[in-house]
Amino acid sequence: MTEKEKQQAGELYNGNDKELIADRATAKKLCMEYNAITYNDYQKKERVLDRLLALKGENTWIEANFFCDYGYNIIMGDNFYSNHNLVILDCADVVFGDNVFIGPNCGFYTASHPIDAEQRNSGLEYAKPIKIGSNVWIGGNVCVMPGVTIGDNTVIGGGSVVTKDIPSGVVAAGNPCKVIRPITEEDKMK
């Protein structure tokens, strides 16, 4: 089994493997290219994202700067918007549903390292997928940690560190992020 196959299977793998280093280099070059494109050159931005991401829906917009590890593990649904400084460490799948809005300076981190120092120092790491449902709003400066699922129709408050799954239809915030309350009809602005 190759290191990339181990990575994709959620097993311990060596992140310094030549194939994985080459894949990251390709993604980093595409991120640099994307971030250097003139703001209103929409077609060029779309072409770079098409080369970088596994799949993106209609109306995808990511404000510069954007960084990811591989790109080929990222799926974005329709009407995806991210403000500046999005970081996705996509050593495992990162899947966003439709109508996802992300504030500035947010990170989605599938990558993790063993707690055992000997394993960690040997270069071994592992990754757990992240899934973000549809109609989700994530406030600025939010970190979503490995293995987390956020349900549909949920709002994550700014500055949160999401370490555990968050259900659908709630407002959640904090460090660690916790459900504050359900979203109700009273939340509609009049």
Confidence class for position 178, pLDDT limits 50, 70, 90 = very high
Domain extent at residue 93:
3-182
> What's the number of domains the chain is made of?
1
Q: Is 113 a catalytic residue?
A: yes
Tell me which of 24, 44, 84, 113 is the catalytic residue.
Answer: 113
Determine the average pLDDT of the residues in 127-149.
Answer: 98
| Cβ proximity of 150 and 165 under 8 Å | yes
Report if residue 161 sits inside a domain: yes
**Model pLDDT, residue 189:** 83
In a domain, residue 39? The reply is yes
* Structure confidence by residue, pLDDT tens digits, 40-75: 999 999 999 999 999 999 999 999 999 999 999 999
Mean pLDDT, the chain, integer: 97
Cα 116 to its chain centre, rounded Å, is: 26
Instruction: Say if residue 145's pLDDT is above 90.
Output: yes
Q: Is residue 189 one of the residues assigned to a domain?
A: no
Cβ atoms of 123 and 160 within 8 Å: the answer is no
Asked if pLDDT for residue 32 goes beyond 90, the answer is yes
What pLDDT does 188 receive?
85
What whole-number percentage of the chain has pLDDT above 90? 96
Give the global pTM: 0.96
β-bridge pairing 94-96 and 130-132: parallel
Residue range 94-120: average pLDDT? 96
Q: What is the CATH number of the domain that holds 52?
A: 2.160.10.10
The alpha-helical segments, DSSP class H, found in the chain are 3-8, 18-36, 42-52, 117-121
Peptide bond into 65 cis (omega under 30): yes
